[in-house]
Amino acid sequence: MHRFPWSRAAAVCVLSHPLVLWSVDSNSFIRHLPKAELHLHLEGTVTPETLVELSARHDSTPLHPAQAQALFQYTDFSGFLLAFKAITEQLRSADDYELVTWRMAQRLADQGVVHAEVYVSVGVVYYWRRCEFEPLFLGMERARLRAESELGLSILWIFDAVRHFGPREAARVFRKAAELRPQFPSVIGIGIGGDERRTGAEPFRNLYMEARDAGLRLTAHAGETIGPEGIWGALNIGAERLGHALSAIQDPELMGVLAERQVPLEICISSNLRTGCCLLPQEHPVRRYFDAGLMITLNSDDPALFLSNLEDEYRLAQESFGFTQEHLRELASNSIEASFLPPERKVEILRRLESLE
Ligand code: ADE
Ligand code: ZN
């Protein structure tokens, strides 16, 4: 796995440096920024410890902590997807989904996150587990409502299909989102994750139109493991917000279109480095996107698998990519503007953001 120059050991060194006060202030500024996480997979928030707990609920021979840790080891993008699948396989009941949703919400609130739009891999539930999703969803909803009342954190759900399972499987996911939305307005949108190298965006065009007509918002992982053609494809089928868009930097025309249309990009720096989609930190385009006027947001993707969280992503932007505090405020503001929240709530959060000292 890729090693980071800004590992936790490096962070500890900062504490003995004269800049320590600046660093503490900076951490506090990041913590108190009201911010949204827009690219976060519920399954990717499950830690090895929680996985052991889940296994003890279900398995006659429960997972040992070392085995759980081993599941989180991967060396490339395909291995990462297998780790993600192994975690999802341990989520079997409504109570399991409630537990992981509640733990995710607590961690988000601890970081000053006020709103999250969370992908849930409904495609994996249907395809691999062959079971109904709705009973499991009720567990997620219980925890979501508790997070709203006890933590002041709002959560919206994005039903994610696995693109390499194909459009027929994706149709089941998107139609379930459309079916649940009238009763559960927290189901806000749909997306496609999985392996772009095996399936582009085009086969999902009709399904995206159908989802849009059902009132769902459209997102797509795009340009994470393949070139700019993946991003053009996602735009062409109507995706409103793009996950990763790592390869846009290779295509000046595309950069122009993204800047002009202010298409929100869900940037996930640690994810790209850990999966090997971006080989070196200095090659990551996040700063060049910002300087070119693209509408970028910072996100953690699968924090338990990438040993990161949203605060870490903001710190990383500051320490390794030269973003100032005012830039970070702008990124937090982008996260609220690019969210699928109603305008009144956006305005309320943006006011708090602007008044933060
Ligand atoms: N599922 C969870 N995280 C993902 C990612 N980064 N890319 C594609 N599919 C995913
Ligand atoms: Zn993702």
DSSP string, 188-223: EEEEEES-TTT--SGGGHHHHHHHHHTT-EEEEEES
Buried-state track 207-221, b at ≥16 Cβ within 10 A, e below 16: bbebbbeeebbbbbb
pLDDT given at position 127: 77
Q: From ligand 2's centre to the CA of 32, what distance in Å? A: 25
Q: For residue 9, tell me if it sits in a domain.
A: no
Q: For residue 10, tell me if it sits in a domain.
A: no
Q: Rounded CA gap, 130 and 95, in Å?
A: 18
Spatial contact of 296 and 337, defined as CB atoms under 8 Å apart = no
Q: For residue 217, tell me if it sits in a domain.
A: yes
Q: For residue 5, tell me if it sits in a domain.
A: no
Q: For residue 88, tell me if it sits in a domain.
A: yes
Domain tally for the chain? 1
Q: Is 224 a catalytic residue?
A: yes
Ligand 1 contact, 41 CB (< 6 A): yes
Q: From ligand 1's centre to the CA of 193, what distance in Å? A: 5
Angle in degrees, 0-180, between the axes of helices 94-110 and 48-58, rounded to the nearest 10: 160
| Nearest atom of ligand 1 to the alpha carbon of 305 | 3
Q: What is the pTM of this model?
A: 0.93
pLDDT given at position 312: 98
> pLDDT truncated to tens, each residue of the chain (357 aa)?
333 333 333 333 333 344 444 566 889 999 999 999 999 999 999 999 999 999 999 999 999 999 999 999 999 999 999 999 999 999 999 999 999 999 999 999 999 999 999 999 999 888 777 789 999 999 999 999 999 999 999 999 999 999 999 999 999 999 999 999 999 999 999 999 999 999 999 999 999 999 999 999 999 999 999 999 999 999 999 999 999 999 999 999 999 999 999 999 999 999 999 999 999 999 999 999 999 999 999 999 999 999 999 999 999 999 999 999 999 999 999 999 999 999 999 999 999 999 998
Q: For residue 245, tell me if it sits in a domain.
A: yes
* Residue type at 262 in one-letter notation: Q
Q: Rounded CA gap, 239 and 321, in Å?
A: 28
pLDDT given at position 28: 94
Please choose, from the candidates 134, 220, 144, the residue with its C-alpha nearest in 3D space to the C-alpha of residue 186: 144
Q: Rounded CA gap, 232 and 234, in Å?
A: 6
Q: Rounded CA gap, 147 and 102, in Å?
A: 7
Ligand 1 contact, 74 CB (< 6 A): no
pLDDT given at position 128: 77
Write the CATH number for 226: 3.20.20.140
In which domain, by residue range, is 118 found?
23-355
Ligand 1 contact, 119 CB (< 6 A): no
Helix (H) or strand (E) holding 353: helix 343-355
| Nearest atom of ligand 1 to the alpha carbon of 244 | 6
Q: For residue 135, tell me if it sits in a domain.
A: yes
Which residues does 250 contact at the CB level (< 8 Å), separation at least 6?
227, 228
| Nearest atom of ligand 1 to the alpha carbon of 195 | 8
Q: For residue 6, tell me if it sits in a domain.
A: no
Which residues does 209 contact at the CB level (< 8 Å), separation at least 6?
237, 238
